[in-house]
Amino acid sequence: MQAYPFYEETLKLTKDLIAIPSLNNSKGERVIAEYMAQWLGELPYFREHPNQLFLQPLKDDPWNRINVIAIAFGTKSEKNETIILHGHCDTVGILDYGSIQEYAFDCDALPEKIRALTDDPEVLTDIESGEWMFGRGASDMKCGDAVNLALMRYFTEHLDQFDGNLIFMTNPVEENQHSGIIHALDVLEEWKETYHLHYKMAINTDFISPAYPGDTKHYFHAGAVGKILPCFYIVGKPTHAGQGLDGFSASMVAAEIVRSLDLRAEFSDVYNGEYTMPPTVLKLKDLKYSYDVQTAFSAFVYFNYFIHNMEIDEVFARLRRVANDALKHVTDYIDEQNQAYCSMTQMAYKKREYELQVLDYHELYGRAKEIDHQIDQEIDQISGNGLKENLDPREICLQIVEFLSIIAGINTPTVILFLAPPYCPHNTMKRDHPEEEELLNSVTNLLKQLATEMGEELKMMQFFPVLTDSSYLKLDDSDFSIETLAKNFPNMEKIYNIPLRKIRRLNIPAFNFGCHGKDAHKWTERVHKEYTFGKLPLIILKVLETYLVDG
């Protein structure tokens, strides 16, 4: 690997970072951030400029997690062009490793443990090749943090070669709430004003994977897929199980919503020929607290819904149709079964009529507000209590909807559609914006040049296809779409306060230059060593030299 000057350093850093368990919602997220802060602090540049290495605590965080943000200024001239290198330091859990959980953070011992437990030919081939590093976080994304650290070291040692500036940032809480990057926006905006920075771009080094078996391309992304979490609260008509046909099943409506929405390909959003994954169910439950022979009064289901360019009101129109169709389907099904049962038992058939309705949260809130003018205070109390108890934010939103449903007197079969955390804005470089088109073309052409030099296929895409902190650096949603979001998100300002105006002001072009990995979030997670530790740092260095050096 002599042709790759960053190889040994980034490989060792990645192993060291993997060895620190930093599971989401654990003290390890702070431990690994402190490790990276200490590593940066030992660089001569930050010994001389300790005030440019900032550890930002997350407000009211139960795990005392921190962002690590550092800035170095090129000395060739006093240009304000600035590039951000960023990544996240948390990982998902290790239960999927089963009997070999104790080796999940041991890159040296893990491959042989996996070899003994799998017959997957691709995994076995990759182990045999020696070209892959295994371990929790190897791909997602401690390798990316390692690359960014090594590049920051290089930059601080060659300041006289650069006209612009470089920021290193690592954030916790990416794997669920994204609160790390959201807090970091305060620092980025403050530094922009204090140092008069112009953010040329942000480069996230999150993982990329083959798109299909045998795919050898390396993908780059000029933006991030968006996400909303549409939730359905379903009210039925409970009955004794011995008189099941007298009720209206909330559980059946929930199941029908899942059947008609989960993985429905036609609901994939598309922009310039690039499609999102279809909606995916993430949670389904009835809301009975204990066993009895009464059918469930209510049920709850929510979905991951990716967005590339759709307005949120368009999505809501789709979801309302799904809810209306589900209510009608259950009505028809129960009636059919009632007729069949009466025919079998020679009982008199009587058609049961139900008043069905679908409401969005805004409509529910309006009904409840007409009855109780003090509901805002009560909603704040529900929210405050839930946050104080560290309750799942989705459950806090559900509690608010249940409360409003009681106030509004909802007692007929009803589906209430609302949103809950997280909300991830979608963004990409738009060719109808001249500055964005120019930057996109420039970066794409640079990648084409590097592809030829390196003998690799480097392909630029519009959207990083899975969730990423890059969502919070640039916002493409229209004001109308944001209004629909806010009015259908229970107490959004208190439960999941996204600084949308701040994101619009920063408007940082968000690229992903990913490490090449496989099986992220699986026990066979691994990263390709030559590309990730050898070639990727050189690609990013070329970007720094292109955009932070004049002439």
- 228-423 belongs to CATH 3.90.45.10: no
Q: Which tens digits make up the pLDDT trace of 316-326?
A: 999 999 999 99
Task: Please say whether the beta carbons of 57 and 114 come within 8 A.
Answer: no
Over residues 166-185, the mean pLDDT reads: 95
Q: How far lies 197's CA from each of 69, 188, 296, 508, 549, in Å?
A: 15, 9, 57, 12, 15
Task: Please say whether the beta carbons of 455 and 523 come within 8 A.
Answer: no
Task: Please say whether the beta carbons of 486 and 499 come within 8 A.
Answer: no
How far is the C-alpha of 180 from the C-alpha of 173, rounded, in Å? 6
Name residue 477's amino acid: D
Q: Which tens digits make up the pLDDT trace of 108-120?
A: 999 999 999 999 9
Q: Is the pLDDT of residue 187 over 70?
A: yes
pLDDT score at 359: 98
407: which residues sit within 8 A by CB, 6+ positions away?
Answer: 368, 371, 372, 375
How far is the C-alpha of 175 from the C-alpha of 91, rounded, in Å? 7
Three-class SS of 335-401: HHHHHHHHHHHCCCCCCCCCCCEEEEHHHHHHHHHHHCCCHHHHHHHHHHHHHHCCCCHHHHHHHHH
- Output the pTM of the full model: 0.91
Q: Is the pLDDT of residue 1 over 80?
A: no
Q: Which tens digits make up the pLDDT trace of 524-546?
A: 999 999 999 999 999 999 999 99
Other CB atoms within 10 Å distance of the CB of residue 217: 16
Task: Please say whether the beta carbons of 154 and 132 come within 8 A.
Answer: no
Q: pLDDT-derived band of residue 28, with 50, 70 and 90 as boundaries? A: very high
53 token code pair: 């290495």
Question: What letter does residue 289 receive in the DSSP assignment?
Answer: -
pLDDT score at 177: 85
Q: Where are the domains of the chain?
A: 7-211+508-547, 228-423
Return the CATH class of domain 7-211+508-547. Answer: alpha beta
Query: Helix, strand, or coil here: 171?
Result: strand
Strands 298-307 and 226-235: antiparallel
Q: How far lies 369's CA from each of 374, 417, 418, 435, 519, in Å?
A: 8, 17, 17, 46, 48
Looking at every residue in the chain, the average pLDDT score rounds to 96
Q: Is residue 201 reached through a cis peptide bond, with omega within 30 degrees of 0 on the bond before it?
A: no
Please give the sequence-ordered ranges of beta strands (E in DSSP) within 128-237, or none if there are none: 132-134, 165-171, 198-204, 218-221, 223-224, 226-235
Question: What letter does residue 195 receive in the DSSP assignment?
Answer: H
Over residues 31-46, the mean pLDDT reads: 98
Strands 298-307 and 526-528: unpaired
Q: Which tens digits make up the pLDDT trace of 254-306?
A: 999 999 999 999 999 999 999 999 999 999 999 999 999 999 999 999 999 99
Q: Is the pLDDT of residue 439 over 90?
A: yes
How far is the C-alpha of 491 from the C-alpha of 377, rounded, in Å? 11
How far is the C-alpha of 429 from the C-alpha of 439, rounded, in Å? 8
Instruction: Report the percentage of the chain scoring pLDDT > 70.
Output: 99
Query: Helix, strand, or coil here: 523?
Result: coil
Q: pLDDT-derived band of residue 2, with 50, 70 and 90 as boundaries? A: low
Closest CA to 483 of 327, 313, 265, 278: 313
HSE-CB at 330 with a 13 A cutoff on CA atoms is 30
Dihedral over Cα of 324, 325, 329, 335: its sign: positive
pLDDT score at 3: 84
Q: pLDDT-derived band of residue 176, with 50, 70 and 90 as boundaries? A: confident
pLDDT score at 551: 64
Q: pLDDT-derived band of residue 78, with 50, 70 and 90 as boundaries? A: confident
